[in-house]
Structure 1
């Protein structure tokens, strides 16, 4: 995939300026061409060595720039800016938000890789607004239950105000979580598990029928093969790939 002129116009002010070099050498490859090369890796899931040399800058250039931007916090900064743009254009609906997790199989060892019945992997946690726009994303070991990852996911938001209601599946049915989120002004809505006393009545649970919105967003994320299967050893690099995938979704809306 390649960025359109309109999309790049949104991103270019958010890309860090290169450090001026005093020594002579080859000209720096344009940021746009490098960004397109990184997006190609994200979409195809291919190894960096497979990057088409006739279409994109060299693999080492794209990989080094990806690491450079990640170390500078570029991707979270872009997400925060896109969040503000979406809010200014009235594209966000925070009356309710949806939370869910998805599994990404890990090819290699590394931090935030844990065993499950599906094999070893990493959990991607995401919160979306009522329109399915990503509001927060976090990665963690696939071993812990999702109910234990809610706070860290909310803390990884892109600058949002807390939603009025947070809707999840039965994995989020917990009295402790309900009480903790209530102190933040958030109503947790989740169907009760079979062995639990009913704490949700029919009226709030009608909102659960709209949970397909977060499932749709996860489906979009999983269309990026570098997200569907974790190939990065370093957890921060995998999180950056997930953040990059999240950038594409609101970028299509604001540009």
Structure 2
């Protein structure tokens, strides 16, 4: 096995999840294509610089874009989560946080027609993107949202929670609701706590200093302080593993669809 390629165990995990091509001429082997795509994002190189042993870079890019736009990577991730949930391997204590990703100059200039907003924002460090993510207690991604780097965390909390959608292998609706949610002070707001309480979701979110002062100033009208017990937040470990991929730690993709597909692929391999 060449460095940065899929191991045999990872390939056996992914092979049943890939779409089958039953019509048309014979195409380049899926394992070779996936190895090329994974190598590209793990090293952060340009498509044209992917080694020739993976075939034409144009073939790799075309297959990657097709799978990104038709939702193949998303379906593969959901299928992997469903298998883990059916085996009882998901710990539903969910951690929520975000991480900022520096955007390379090559990430700028995507055509606007027919594409999503590029999810780029200008912040103190220049152009950046932000990954808002929820992971299980073992640090494996359950759902994420991609925005510009200048987006406030609390505005995307409900979107991240609604991105959690683990299907059932048999009959039944997908699981949407975690047993417990862990968050940092960026998630501390009355609206978020109310949203969680209405859905019966226990949560551990510390208060910000200004919120404590405002509640104390209002006296008895300020209400009781939210209960907070320190628990391990594993989402930072999840971000650390994702950013081992150089093509994710720095964003080179012009379109939000391509970068989101890369994060989805890295998340999928974490479930492997």
TM-score by length of 1: 0.89
The answer on whether the counterparts of 2:204 and 2:229 sit within 8 Å (CA) in structure 1 is yes
Greater Cα shift, 61-70 or 157-166 = 157-166
For the pair 1:48 / 2:47, whether they are aligned, the reply is yes
What is the match of residue 167 of structure 1?
182
Residue 175 of structure 1 deviates from its aligned partner by 0.8
Residue 63 of structure 1 deviates from its aligned partner by 0.5
What is the match of residue 12 of structure 2?
9
Secondary structure at 2:54 match in 1: coil
TM-score by length of 2: 0.83
Residue 185 of structure 1 deviates from its aligned partner by 2.0
Structure 2 unaligned blocks of 5 or more: 111-117, 167-174, 216-224
**Higher Cα Rg: structure 1 or 2?**
2
Equivalent-residue separation in structure 2 for 1:171 and 1:137 (angstroms) = 16
Secondary structure at 1:205 match in 2: coil
Structure 1 unaligned blocks of 5 or more: none
Equivalent-residue separation in structure 2 for 1:77 and 1:59 (angstroms) = 24
Residue 140 of structure 1 deviates from its aligned partner by 0.9
Matches within 5 A, 1:219-234: 219-234=240-255
Equivalent-residue separation in structure 2 for 1:142 and 1:185 (angstroms) = 31
What is the match of residue 235 of structure 2?
214
Matches within 5 A, 1:63-212: 63-94=61-92, 96-107=93-104, 108-109=107-108, 111-159=118-166, 160-197=175-212, 199-201=225-227, 204-207=228-231, 210-211=232-233
Residue 194 of structure 1 deviates from its aligned partner by 1.0
Residue 158 of structure 1 deviates from its aligned partner by 4.1
Residue 3 of structure 1 deviates from its aligned partner by 1.9
Greater Cα shift, 70-79 or 28-37 = 70-79
Residue 58 of structure 1 deviates from its aligned partner by 1.4
The answer on whether the counterparts of 2:162 and 2:176 sit within 8 Å (CA) in structure 1 is no
1:141-181 C-alpha deviation (Å, 9 max, x unpaired): 11121010111112222424311221111111101110012
Residue 193 of structure 1 deviates from its aligned partner by 0.9
Residue 90 of structure 1 deviates from its aligned partner by 2.3
Q: How many residues are paired up?
A: 240
